[in-house]
């Protein structure tokens, strides 16, 4: 075995090791890949993750969206939850609609 030095990047997660703490981050993945894939690279930051008391149903009458892209983005958000536990509830909620995504579900992702 050989010593490769301090860990700096592992499975898409950037690792920063300091004297006091170990910090994990996925900003490169979130901003460069996920936001660009969803067409939101130029959007402004928002503190609220999703509208309070939002009720989505599977029996929506809005237009369908590209299910493959929707599932891809949800998968990316699920991966992002590893370092961003604050978005776990919203990601879980919109995951319920992966079978038949609609425009109002898509707006929640975005």
* Residue 3 maps to a domain: no
Asked if residue 29 belongs to a domain, the reply is yes
- Interatomic CA distance for residues 69 and 16, integer angstroms: 32
**Do the domain assignments include residue 15?**
yes
Is 4 a domain residue?
no
Could you give the number of structural domains in the chain? Answer: 1
Q: Is 30 strand, coil or helix?
A: helix
Q: How would you write the pLDDT of the chain (110 residues) with one tens digit per residue? A: 677 777 777 777 788 888 888 887 777 777 678 888 888 778 777 776 666 777 766 666 777 778 888 888 888 888 888 777 888 888 888 887 777 666 655 555 54
In a domain, 1, yes or no: no
Helices (runs of H) and strands (runs of E) counted in the chain: 5, 3
Q: Which domain holds residue 33?
A: 9-109
Whether 2 maps to a domain, the answer reads: no
- In a domain, residue 44? The reply is yes
The closest of 53, 62, 69 to 105, measured between CA atoms, is 62
Whether the model clears a pTM of 0.75, i.e. scores above it, the answer is: no
């Amino acid at each position: 075995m050989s010593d490769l030095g301090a860990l700096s990047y592992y499975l898409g997660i950037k690792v920063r090791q300091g004297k006091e703490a170990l910090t994990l981050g996925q900003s490169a993945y979130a901003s460069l890949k996920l936001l660009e894939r969803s067409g939101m690279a130029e959007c402004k930051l928002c503190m609220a993750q999703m509208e309070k008391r939002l009720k989505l149903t599977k029996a929506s009458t809005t237009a369908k969206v590209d299910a493959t892209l929707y599932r891809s983005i949800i998968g990316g958000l699920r991966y992002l939850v590893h370092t961003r536990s604050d978005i776990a509830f919203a990601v879980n909620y919109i995951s319920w609609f992966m079978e038949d995504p609609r425009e109002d579900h898509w707006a929640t992702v975005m």
